[in-house]
Amino acid sequence: MDSHKIPFRELIASNPLARNSAIVFAGTMTANVLSYIYHLMMGRMLGPSGYGELSSLLSLLYIFTIPLLVTQTVLIKLVSGFKAHGEVGQAKSLFIKAVKVFEVVSLVGFPVILLAAPWVTSFLHLSSSTLFVYVYLLLIISLFIAVATSMLAGYQKFIWVSILGSVAILVKIVISVPMAGWRVSGVMLAAIMASLIACVLYILPLRFLMSVKRKPTHLKKRDTFGFAIPTLLTQLGITSLYTTDIILVRHFFDAQSSGLYAALAILGKIIFYASSAVPTVLFPIASERTALGSKTKKLIISAVGAVAVISIGITALYFLFPDLIVSLLFGNAYAGAGAMLGMFGIFLGLFSIANSIAVSCLAVGKIRIWLFCVAAALAQIVGVTIFHGTIAQVIYLNIAIAAVLTFGSAAYYLYEKIQPHHTGV
């Protein structure tokens, strides 16, 4: 039967990227809507000054979770290989080993956090050093969730990933609203409580893993670390690009301006989160195909193209209706942010495309992508430190860096050879 005669639903069902992207997109959009409801409610309840403080804390958390993102990426790639060869017992051993390692690291890191708290409090002008400790507690709780999510994604159980992600945010909203009466401290405590509840929920879909007997993984440390280290550096660069600017703006600008910038960042990230379903699904599928020696180029090009279409569409809306979008979502207190919303959309659109290319490179073993990501992150830090006369100046700098990263990463993907010892488990 010709492809143009096949019903649209059957085309989606027969394509794993399209099918799973549709599942993750639905779950991601639900989670994103709930997440934005959370941010909008906190923005209104805390005001620009309080919300700016909360955003700087959450940006710190995003940076701290870089090891989690790396762990997720590495685990998903390894588990995808186990799935390809039917090795559930090895996946169970990997899960247990990862949880144990994180427990030890968490205990070792806690004294360091206590020592660093006064300095961080001064740098970010926080109202209390306890807030920084709350960030670390959130990180510790997130460790288990990260490992559990990796197992589910590696086995392509995207329905569970989508449902649990949405439920976790909904629980956070329900707890945070009454706790916001205690300002930022109350909101952070609510996030900790919600994360603990999420940990319990993630046990449910992992029963398939717990019911099998453990088997040795036989992983080669050289190959595992050979992939983990470039992944760490890639994720460090990517995460830094959409978090460090918020922290630096918080440091260099007044509380009102940093609050407006935080609102821009949240609205801009709609682009990133709306398109994130595609690379989320792409990575385990491309990793599994690479482990089996199958071709991935057409799959990756279609995925990056989908991210580009989503990014362009949302950015166009930001240019057409900036003031309306800002006033509807954040209120009149953030009215000044509308003038730069479209430009911030360009930054996050380019960033989203670059991120999808970076994910593609890691999936197929083109691990030197880390050089581009780290260089871009360092350029942003140095650039904002030197050029921070106005908010507009920071945004234009971000656009330039994201554009260079996007086109540089695309050229690298097209011309770099795959590293053979990182193509599978």
Q: Can you give 378-389 as a three-state secondary structure string?
A: HHHHHHHHHCCC
Tokens of 122: 């001064």
Tokens of 129: 């050093």
Query: Is there a contact between 202 and 148 (Cβ–Cβ < 8 Å)?
Result: yes
Instruction: List pLDDT tens digits, range 95-120.
Output: 777 777 777 877 887 888 888 888 88
Q: Is 89 exposed, middle or buried (0-12, 13-18, 19+ CB in 10 A)?
A: middle
**pLDDT > 90? residue 12:** no
Q: Map 186-249 to HEC letters.
A: HHHHHHHHHHHHHHHHHCHHHHHHHCCCCCCCCCCHHHHHHHHHHHHHHHHHHHHHCCHHHHHH
**pLDDT > 90? residue 33:** no
- Asked if the structure places residue 3 within a domain, the reply is no
Range of the domain at 60: 14-422
Please state the rounded mean pLDDT for residues 124-149.
82
Give the Cβ contact number of residue 213 at 10 Å: 8
- Asked if the structure places residue 9 within a domain, the reply is no
d(CA 289, CA 80): 9
Please state the rounded mean pLDDT for residues 339-359.
92
- Domain count along the chain: 1
Q: How far is CA 362 from the centre of its chain?
A: 15
Residue for token pair 């430190």: 385
Query: Is there a contact between 77 and 287 (Cβ–Cβ < 8 Å)?
Result: yes
- Asked if the structure places residue 289 within a domain, the reply is yes
- Asked if the structure places residue 1 within a domain, the reply is no
Q: Which pLDDT score, from 0 to 100, does residue 4 have?
A: 45
Q: What pTM did the predictor assign?
A: 0.64
Q: Which residue has the higher pLDDT, 342 or 76?
A: 342
| CA distances (Å), origin 393, targets 262, 350, 398 | 15, 17, 9
pLDDT band of residue 7 (cuts 50, 70, 90) is very low
Query: Is there a contact between 230 and 367 (Cβ–Cβ < 8 Å)?
Result: yes
| CA distances (Å), origin 355, targets 88, 213, 268, 272, 373 | 30, 37, 15, 9, 9
Q: Which of 11-15, 289-293, 316-320 is predicted most confidently?
A: 316-320
Nearest Cα to 312, choosing from 356, 342, 278, 280? 342
d(CA 379, CA 397): 9
Q: Which residue has the higher pLDDT, 166 or 92?
A: 166
Instruction: List pLDDT tens digits, range 191-224.
Output: 899 988 988 888 888 777 776 776 766 666 666 6
Q: What angle do CA 131, 135, 136 make, to 5 degrees?
A: 120
Residue % of the chain over a pLDDT of 90: 18
d(CA 424, CA 254): 49
d(CA 350, CA 217): 39
- Asked if the structure places residue 136 within a domain, the reply is yes
Q: Which pLDDT score, from 0 to 100, does residue 19 have?
A: 65
Query: Is there a contact between 218 and 90 (Cβ–Cβ < 8 Å)?
Result: yes
Concatenating the DSSP letter of every residue in 306-357 gives HHHHHHHHHHHHHHHSHHHHHHHHH-GGGGGGGGGHHHHHHHHHHHHHHHHH
Residue for token pair 């959370």: 38
Which DSSP state fits 295? -
Instruction: List pLDDT tens digits, range 256-312.
Output: 888 888 888 888 888 887 787 788 778 877 877 887 777 878 888 888 998 999 999
| CA distances (Å), origin 143, targets 28, 64, 72, 198 | 20, 11, 10, 12
**pLDDT > 70? residue 337:** yes
d(CA 274, CA 255): 29
Torsional class of 387: left (φ above 0), alpha (ψ -120 to 50), beta (otherwise): beta
- Rounded to the nearest integer, the mean pLDDT of the chain is 80
- Asked if the structure places residue 8 within a domain, the reply is no
d(CA 6, CA 161): 29
Cβ neighbours for 148, distance < 8 A, ≥ 6 positions apart: 95, 202, 203, 206
pLDDT band of residue 20 (cuts 50, 70, 90) is low
- Asked if the structure places residue 113 within a domain, the reply is yes
d(CA 63, CA 380): 15
Instruction: List pLDDT tens digits, range 81-90.
Output: 777 766 777 7
Residue type at 365? G
Which DSSP state fits 418? P
Cβ neighbours for 33, distance < 8 A, ≥ 6 positions apart: none
- Asked if the structure places residue 4 within a domain, the reply is no
